[in-house]
């Protein structure tokens, strides 16, 4: 089976970004039962449109059904499944065994992928779910490459194995966390996590509430639950050799720019691996792309054993290495026509990222508004502008302003 690059799609804009930049499949949520309640997601009509757009590009659509619903929510499942079948989704992603059985009964034509929320860490669980009718298992993030390979060896060949390869990690066991519900009454297991693992904590003694004391796991800081982001772009060969068939990018709540750049990076990395399976070493320009989105410091999770470097105690903030300046609309007669996203000036150094291509660095000395008048800067949101360029870029290519931020160059 050809390895699959699986991208997140939090709304239509992010769906189109994933389609434009090379996803083999996307996963998205409806208005219920998804683990990203904060994302815009897709109602019944939008879901139909999304599936139509994706299938026209030969891209599969997996619908999240992976919350842990309470009894009143279960009664809403039949309508939700009817909408999923009507839209033509390729699979639903399930965590709860009761939901699994309802899907099998009411929508037997739907393929079922078992969510990482299920906590699958051994071949016995994978095989039991396969015998129940699951087509794919999304393994727990706590597994090493050796453990994944062992599961692959003891499971049926037609059971697909999916793992997360990039994005935010949860400090709790495969996402089963109670902190958010306890602190904020927002249930992480029903899609509304407040991310209390990113907070900075102090200890308060009962008789001295006015004297909060910092909790210091190390001298550097107090963010004791804060995890780095995962990045496995350097190790796609090892994942493939272990038997992974779907390479999943986290990020349904992240920006369209993030989806574009990271999907594109893994698309190019996967194509490079397929062309060089015995000598996989990425060109620097492909690897550099993962640093050009907003991210936390990177690590490789549990894949190589105990994750000594997965926590980051100094801050829960993000590193932002690039700013989106605009989106290309068309190229003609030696001009690039685009729509502004952030202000930039004539003479600024910019990069243009087209799907599957090495970024092109330019320094437009003159900018023009929609009337063809020379302007010193592109200042207004969604402002049409243009500049001279001999290169031709497809629509939806990204114009960005690079920065010199190199704080997280290492991937441990």
CATH number at residue 128: 3.20.20.70
Residues 294 and 335 grouped into a single domain: no
How many domains are there within the chain?
2
| Residues 60, 54 contacting (CB under 8 angstroms) | yes
Quote the pLDDT of residue 214.
72
Residues 330 and 255 grouped into a single domain: no
| Residues 112, 141 contacting (CB under 8 angstroms) | no
Q: What is the mean pLDDT of residues 367-387?
A: 94
CATH number at residue 352: 2.40.30.10
Check residue 151 and give left, alpha or beta (phi > 0: left; psi -120 to 50: alpha): alpha
Do the bridges between strand 4-8 and strand 60-65 make them parallel or antiparallel, or are there none, so unpaired? Answer: unpaired
Do the bridges between strand 111-114 and strand 136-138 make them parallel or antiparallel, or are there none, so unpaired? Answer: parallel
Bridge partners of 94, per DSSP, are 65, 114
- Residue 351, classed as helix, strand or coil, is strand
Residues 337 and 273 grouped into a single domain: no
Range of the domain at 283: 4-171+226-299
In a domain, 184, yes or no: no
In a domain, 165, yes or no: yes
In a domain, 411, yes or no: no
Residues 97 and 12 grouped into a single domain: yes
Residues 263 and 379 grouped into a single domain: no
Residues 328 and 286 grouped into a single domain: no
- The pTM for the full model equals 0.88
pLDDT in tens, 188-230: 767 788 888 878 877 787 888 888 877 766 555 567 677 889 9
User: What backbone phi and psi angles, to 5 degrees, belong to 234?
Assistant: -80, -5
pLDDT in tens, 299-342: 998 899 866 667 665 666 778 778 899 999 999 999 999 999 99
pLDDT in tens, 238-272: 999 999 999 999 999 999 999 999 999 999 999 99
Residues 343 and 283 grouped into a single domain: no
CA angle 359, 380, 337 (to 5 degrees): 45
Residues 260 and 346 grouped into a single domain: no
In a domain, 182, yes or no: no
* DSSP of 265-277: HHHHHHHHHHH-T
Determine the Cα–Cα distance for residues 131 and 152; give it in Å rounded to an integer. 15
Residues 16 and 114 grouped into a single domain: yes
Quote the pLDDT of residue 101.
97
Residues 63 and 145 grouped into a single domain: yes
Domain end among 250, 283, 299: 299
In a domain, 90, yes or no: yes
Residues 336 and 292 grouped into a single domain: no
Distant-in-sequence, close-in-space partners of 124: CB < 8 Å, separation ≥ 6: none
Q: HSE of 384 in the Cβ direction (CA atoms, 13 Å)?
A: 8
Residues 277 and 375 grouped into a single domain: no
In a domain, 274, yes or no: yes
In a domain, 178, yes or no: no
- 214: buried, middle or exposed (CB in 10 Å: 19+, 13-18, 0-12)? exposed
Residue 410: how many other CB atoms lie within 10 Å: 10
In a domain, 37, yes or no: yes
């Amino acid at each position: 089976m050809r390895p699959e690059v699986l991208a997140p799609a939090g709304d239509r804009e992010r769906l189109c970004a994933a389609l434009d930049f090379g996803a083999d499949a996307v996963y998205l949520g409806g208005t219920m039962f998804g683990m990203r309640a904060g994302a815009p997601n897709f109602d019944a009509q939008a879901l139909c449109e999304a599936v139509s757009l994706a299938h026209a590009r030969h891209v599969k659509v997996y619908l999240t059904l992976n919350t842990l619903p309470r009894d009143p929510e279960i009664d809403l499942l039949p309508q939700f499944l009817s909408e999923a079948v009507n839209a033509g989704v390729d699979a639903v992603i399930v965590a709860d065994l009761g939901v699994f059985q309802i899907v099998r009964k009411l929508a037997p034509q739907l393929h079922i992928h078992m969510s990482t929320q299920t906590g699958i860490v051994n071949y016995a669980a994978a095989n039991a779910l396969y015998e129940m009718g699951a087509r794919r298992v999304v393994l727990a993030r706590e597994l090493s490459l050796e453990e994944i390979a062992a599961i692959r060896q003891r499971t049926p060949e037609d059971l697909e194995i999916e793992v997360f390869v990039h994005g935010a990690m949860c400090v709790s066991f495969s996402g089963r966390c109670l902190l958010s519900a306890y602190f904020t009454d927002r249930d992480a297991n029903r899609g509304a996590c407040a991310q209390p693992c990113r907070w900075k904590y102090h200890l308060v003694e009962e008789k001295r509430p006015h004297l909060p004391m910092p909790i210091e796991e190390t001298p550097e800081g107090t963010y004791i639950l804060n995890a780095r982001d995962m990045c496995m772009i350097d190790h796609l060969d090892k994942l493939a050799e272990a038997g992974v068939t779907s390479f999943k990018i986290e990020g349904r709540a992240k920006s369209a720019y993030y989806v574009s750049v990271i999907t594109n990076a893994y698309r190019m990395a996967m194509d490079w691996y397929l062309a060089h399976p015995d000598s996989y070493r990425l060109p620097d320009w492909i690897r550099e792309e993962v640093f050009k989105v907003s991210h936390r410091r990177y690590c490789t999770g549990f894949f190589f054993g105990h994750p000594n470097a997965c926590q980051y105690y100094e801050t829960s903030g993000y590193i932002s290495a690039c700013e989106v300046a605009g989106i290309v609309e068309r190229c003609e007669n030696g001009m690039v026509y685009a729509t502004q996203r952030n202000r930039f000036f004539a003479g600024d150094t910019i990069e243009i990222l087209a799907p599957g291509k090495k970024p092109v660095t330019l320094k437009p000395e003159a900018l023009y508004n929609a009337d063809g008048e020379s302007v010193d800067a592109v200042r207004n949101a969604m402002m049409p502008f243009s500049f001279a360029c001999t290169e031709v870029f497809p629509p939806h290519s990204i114009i960005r302003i690079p920065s010199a931020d190199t704080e997280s160059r290492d991937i441990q």
